[in-house]
A = this chain, B = another copy of it.
Amino acid sequence: MTALDLIDRKIVAQLMRDATQSVAQIADQVGLSSTPCWKRIRRLESDGVIERRVALASPQALGLGVCAVVILRAPDHSAEWRERLGAVVAAIPEIMEVWRVAGENDYLLRIAVADMAAFDQLCQRLAGEVPIREITSHLAIERVKFTTAFPVDTIRR
């Protein structure tokens, strides 16, 4: 896998912004003709730079009105516990995002559920399936910003 040049990053930026664009449109945007642009896109996909193409939906329209960020502390820093948590969160679709963070044995989870009753049930399910030393919930009032587009423009080559 070779390094990405400026044109590659422009292509990825375009596709992260709007993947409905045709190859010809993207070629225009980045200053290429269709064929070489198409070849670059294929290479970016086979190299794993572009991982997948997905539709983004509206949580409100889907009836998922409650979003929460849960911070939890592990009882220990064992590999067993980490694997256990990984298996549990993988099996729970309401848990959309999980980050293990440095410092303490802390994890941050982002959760999408229909209502507070569902959120309560989810917390109880989580606590029942994996031992947790401490858990703190932050209910989201407002989604101020959310994007899946990485800041490729700011990367220095």
Contact = CB atoms under 8 A, between A and B. Distances in A.
Contact of A93 (B58, B103, B108, B153): B153
Given A99-B143, A108-B69, A94 B151 contact: yes
Given A55-B53, A57-B49, A100 B146 contact: no
Contacts of A85: 144
B16 A86 contact: no
A142 to B, nearest CB: 4
Contacts of A141: 100-102
Interface of A: 1, 4, 9, 12, 15-20, 47-59, 61-64, 67, 69, 85-86, 89-90, 93-103, 106-108, 112-114, 118, 138-156
